[in-house]
Amino acid sequence: MLDKSLAYRLSIYISLAVVAVFIAFIVIYFLFNMKIIEENIDNKAISSEAEVAAEIKKYVITTKEVTQNVADQIVFYDQKDYVQPFFDHLLRKYEFINAIHINIDSTLELKYHNYFSYRENDSTYFFEGNQPFENCVSNHPNYKVLAEGNEQNWSEPIFCERNKRIVVAFYSPIFYVRNDKTIQIGDVVCELSLLQLHESINKIKIGKNGYSVLMSKDGTYISHPKKEWILTRNLRDIPPEVFKNKQLLVDDFLTGVNAGSIVAYPETLNYEKSFVYHSRIEENGWILLLVIPHKELFEPLYVPILKMLFFSVLGILIIYILVTYISNKQIQPLSSVTSQLTKFTNISSESYAGEESMNEIKQVADSLNLMKLWYEQYQLKALKEEKLNKLQHTDLLQAAEIQKSLIKVDFPAFPNIAEIDLFASYNPARIVSGDLFDYFFKDEDHLVLSMGDVSGNGVPAALFMSVSQTVIKTIASDLTIKRCSSIVARINNELHSNNMHQFFLTLFLGILDIKTGKLSYCNAAHNSTYIVKANGNIEVLVESHGLPLGLYRDKGYREGRYQLEKGDSIVLYTDGVTERSDSNRLFYGHERLKENLKSLVGLEPKEMVKRIETSVRLFAGDAEQNDDISILVLKYHG
Q: Which CATH number is 477's domain given?
A: 3.60.40.10
Q: Within 10 Å of residue 542's Cβ, how many Cβ atoms?
A: 11
Do 320 and 302 share a structural domain? Answer: yes
The DSSP element (H or E) to which 577 belongs, if any, is helix 575-578
Q: For 475, what's the count of Cα atoms within 13 Å in the CB-facing half-sphere?
A: 21
413 falls within a domain? yes
Q: Which of 385, 405, 425 is the last residue of a domain?
A: 405
Decide: 523 and 544 in contact? Cβ < 8 Å: yes
Do 197 and 112 share a structural domain? Answer: yes
Residues of the domain holding 505: 408-636
147 falls within a domain? yes
Predicted confidence at residue 395, as pLDDT, reads 56
CA distance 6 to 327: 8
CA distance 525 to 506: 5
C-alpha 475, offset from chain centre = 20
Residue 219 sits in a domain whose CATH number is 3.30.450.20
DSSP state of 153: E
129-138, 167-176, 210-219, 591-600: range with highest mean pLDDT: 591-600
Q: Which of the two residues, 267 and 618, has the higher pLDDT score?
A: 618
Q: Which residues in 235-336 belong to E strands, given as ranges?
A: 260-264, 274-280, 287-293
334 falls within a domain? no
Do 439 and 385 share a structural domain? Answer: no
Do 451 and 378 share a structural domain? Answer: no
The DSSP element (H or E) to which 392 belongs, if any, is helix 360-405
Query: Residue 88 above 80 pLDDT?
Result: yes
The DSSP element (H or E) to which 605 belongs, if any, is helix 605-620
524 falls within a domain? yes
Do 414 and 401 share a structural domain? Answer: no
21-30, 114-123, 274-283, 505-514: range with highest mean pLDDT: 505-514
Give the lowest-confidence range in 246-260, 337-351, 439-453.
337-351
The DSSP element (H or E) to which 58 belongs, if any, is helix 6-79
Decide: 547 and 525 in contact? Cβ < 8 Å: yes
Predicted confidence at residue 589, as pLDDT, reads 94
Q: Select from 434, 420, 467, 425 the least CA-distant residue to 572.
A: 425
Query: Residue 290 above 80 pLDDT?
Result: yes
* 457-474 average pLDDT score: 86
Query: Residue 354 above 50 pLDDT?
Result: no
CA distance 167 to 171: 13
pLDDT single digits (tens) 221-243:
888 888 888 888 888 888 888 87
338 falls within a domain? no
Do 535 and 441 share a structural domain? Answer: yes
Radius of gyration of the chain (CA): 37
Predicted confidence at residue 52, as pLDDT, reads 86
Q: Report the mean per-residue pLDDT for the chain.
A: 83
Query: Residue 587 above 60 pLDDT?
Result: yes
Q: Are strands 420-427 and 435-441 parallel, antiparallel or unpaired?
A: unpaired
pLDDT single digits (tens) 139-195:
777 666 776 767 888 888 888 877 788 888 888 999 888 888 888 888 899 988 888
CA distance 109 to 65: 26
Q: Which of the two residues, 251 and 69, has the higher pLDDT score?
A: 69
Q: Select from 146, 145, 169, 147 the least CA-distant residue to 157.
A: 169
Reported confidence tier of residue 517, pLDDT bands at 50, 70, 90:
very high
Do 624 and 507 share a structural domain? Answer: yes
Predicted confidence at residue 126, as pLDDT, reads 92
166 falls within a domain? yes
DSSP states of 464-481 as a string? HHHHHHHHHHHHHT-TT-
Q: For helices 6-79 and 194-203, give the axis angle rounded to 10 degrees.
A: 160
Total of domains in the chain = 3
Query: Residue 331 above 70 pLDDT?
Result: no
Decide: 155 and 215 in contact? Cβ < 8 Å: no
272-276, 426-430, 558-562: range with highest mean pLDDT: 558-562
Q: Select from 237, 195, 212, 258 the least CA-distant residue to 59.
A: 195
Q: Which of 390, 405, 420 is the last residue of a domain?
A: 405
CA distance 304 to 386: 37
Predicted confidence at residue 2, as pLDDT, reads 52
* 556-582 average pLDDT score: 95
Distance spanning both ends of the chain, measured CA to CA = 113
Decide: 565 and 596 in contact? Cβ < 8 Å: no
Reported confidence tier of residue 512, pLDDT bands at 50, 70, 90:
very high
Query: Residue 438 above 90 pLDDT?
Result: yes
